[in-house]
Structure 1
Amino acid sequence: MSKVPRVVAIDHRDSALQAAFCEYVPQVFRTVDFRRWCAWGEWTDDYRAFSVVDEGRVVANASVMRMCLRVEGREVVGYQLGAVGCVPERRGQGLARVAMEAAMEACGDAPVVLFANKKVLDFYPRFGFEPREQTLFGVTLEVTPRGEPAPVLDVSEASVRARLVALAEEGVPVTERFGARRHGHIATWYAAANFARPLRKLSEDAWVFAGVEDGTLYIEDVFAREGFDLRPHLSRLVDEPVKAVQFGFTPERWWPGAEVIGEDMEADLFVRNLSLPAGANRFPVMART
């Protein structure tokens, strides 16, 4: 490799470099895969990978997703970083730093957020990022199955993805405190990577990612044209009795009485050039890259 690493900005138009990026990802993040998401055509202009490329191979990377953030009811144009790292055999050469520098130059002075791997928490403050705590929200509530179960939608179908993206574009933000809008293409990544809970249809204009695990109903995200009362629909989302509900976002719109049940220990959030509201909040899990 040359002494000066070559950074290439990869977008969805370059199929060869996109394939090289897809080869890179599981080498760094063992359980993560972008191939299906790319095959679905979900990589859009909003996503760019700033990759260090050596003889056609991506060896380090920092990706940038353009975001429509919501902060205390305001719309803020910013970015979110993801897939930051370096292949194991090339670590210690400063390649991830080179990729990060290119990504941060592309972001300029705009607000940037990222969720970090616990092994590299000391890496991001070097680029001006500051850590912020994330909170878990939930409610103790007994819910039993009743009524017609909410249908499960197949996100592998192009028409379902198109409708989900439309609801994300046109619907209400899941939270006004600290969240995102228009993140449908991020949500489809979770489905493509098999990290998402089932997508359930409550009505034509209200879809939720939700599922039951260990006696708790987890509602990860709500994509809806307008706000509505979640409570009558809970019994349609469970196939066994549950004793609690947890939310993958700050649920002030959907469940104002939800309790803080602890810190989200799996979410190491860092922010740059962004002031967050005081008090507990949770950036929506389906909007994280």
Structure 2
Amino acid sequence: MDSVAVTEIGQFDAGLQELFCDYVPQVFRRADFRRWRAWGEWNDAYRAFALLEAGRVVANASVMRMRLLLEGREVTAYQLGAVGCLPSHRGRGLARVVMNAALDGCGEAPVLLFANPKVRQFYPRFGFQPQMQTLFSASYEAVPEGPPAPTLSLEEVAVRAGLTMLSSEGLPSTERFGARGYGAVASWPVANGFARPLRQLGTDAWTFAGVEGETLYLDDVFAREPFDLRAWIPRLIDRPIRSIRFGFTPERYWPCAVEAGEDMEADLFVRNLRLSPEAHRFPIMAHT
């Protein structure tokens, strides 16, 4: 089966991208790449390794090149996503073929992926090891005060460019286990309607944030320079809150945050990658 030809789909392969976009919702019911692609976010960092039969993609494993941060040190790495096979073609080893092709494309670089808990047994066959991710929270009481922080729309080209710039050139939300330059990754859940609103904190600081119950969820922070996040909390909420949950390791913005259990929503697997023994959470807006 490994002799089957795998097709690499890149930034400028418009026709093949259409076939890829047809494939995705057949395997991942709530996912779609069309809007993200229409925004021009499929760049040279994203490659899909696909098996084609009868003019359609039947199996795929994609890789996103990442500027990974490990204890403040930047390394080139890859994150896998959209790994799967059409239900009608399962049981033929096709997922193994595209996985091997994708990993060959990564070489000896570190690789990570976030997987559905239902497939925990699949990825260790390719040299991946599971890694725990920690939830972080803080008790913090606040009430709305001042004008609400403006909401930004990634439908606007200038906003997408701003997110790309802040992600690439600004401060990462965490350096313990984080990334830089992942604006095109962060825009994907927005394009699919999965993300919390993007709010503007001053001129060059943005956050994906939203309130649920009495908790403010801060999923990620993109900023050019250090700033006082606490001062903006009253302008991010529309009702009183008693706690904050962070979608990243908040050592920069909230060093007194506490560990609040294990993140059970997605399983992290790593290959050729040694992580800090300290508790950490890879920013959820950097998940592919």
TM-score (norm 2): 0.98
Alignment of 1:171-186 (within 5 A): 171-186=170-185
Unaligned runs of 5+ in 1: none
1:69-110 CA deviation, whole Å, 9 max, x = no partner?
000110011100000010101000000100000000000100
The question of 1:52 aligning with 2:51 is answered yes
Change (3 A) 1:246 1:3: closer
Residue type of the alignment partner of 1:200: R
Provide the secondary structure at the position in 1 that maps to 2:171. coil
Q: Indicate if the aligned counterparts of 1:216 and 1:245 stay in contact, CA closer than 8 A.
A: yes
Q: Which moved more, 1:7-16 or 1:98-107?
A: 7-16
Residue type of the alignment partner of 1:103: A
1:223-266 CA deviation, whole Å, 9 max, x = no partner?
10012221010000001111110000000000000010110001
Find the counterpart in structure 1 of residue 133 from structure 2: 134
Alignment of 1:100-249 (within 5 A): 100-249=99-248
TM-score (norm 1): 0.98
Find the counterpart in structure 2 of residue 28 from structure 1: 27
Q: Indicate if the aligned counterparts of 2:145 and 2:235 stay in contact, CA closer than 8 A.
A: yes
Q: Indicate if the aligned counterparts of 2:117 and 2:266 stay in contact, CA closer than 8 A.
A: no
The question of 1:8 aligning with 2:7 is answered yes
Deviation at 1:4, TM superposition (A): 4.3
Unaligned runs of 5+ in 2: none
Count matched residues.
288
Q: Indicate if the aligned counterparts of 1:5 and 1:53 stay in contact, CA closer than 8 A.
A: no
Residue type of the alignment partner of 1:169: S
Q: Indicate if the aligned counterparts of 2:147 and 2:235 stay in contact, CA closer than 8 A.
A: yes
What is the alpha-carbon distance in structure 2 between the residues aligned to residue 92 and residue 199 of structure 1? 41
Name segments (4+ residues, structure 1) moved above 4 Å.
none
Find the counterpart in structure 2 of residue 62 from structure 1: 61
Provide the secondary structure at the position in 2 that maps to 1:187. helix
Residue type of the alignment partner of 2:286: A
Q: Percent of aligned positions with the same letter in both sequences? A: 62
What is the alpha-carbon distance in structure 2 between the residues aligned to residue 227 and residue 220 of structure 1? 17
Deviation at 1:5, TM superposition (A): 2.7
Superposed CA RMSD: 1.1
What is the alpha-carbon distance in structure 2 between the residues aligned to residue 214 and residue 19 of structure 1? 40
Deviation at 1:204, TM superposition (A): 1.3
Residue type of the alignment partner of 1:63: S
Q: Indicate if the aligned counterparts of 1:17 and 1:56 stay in contact, CA closer than 8 A.
A: no
Q: Indicate if the aligned counterparts of 1:11 and 1:49 stay in contact, CA closer than 8 A.
A: yes
What is the alpha-carbon distance in structure 1 between the residues aligned to residue 55 and residue 234 of structure 2? 52
What is the alpha-carbon distance in structure 1 between the residues aligned to residue 213 and residue 11 of structure 2? 39
What is the alpha-carbon distance in structure 2 between the residues aligned to residue 6 and residue 175 of structure 1? 40
Q: Indicate if the aligned counterparts of 1:6 and 1:54 stay in contact, CA closer than 8 A.
A: no
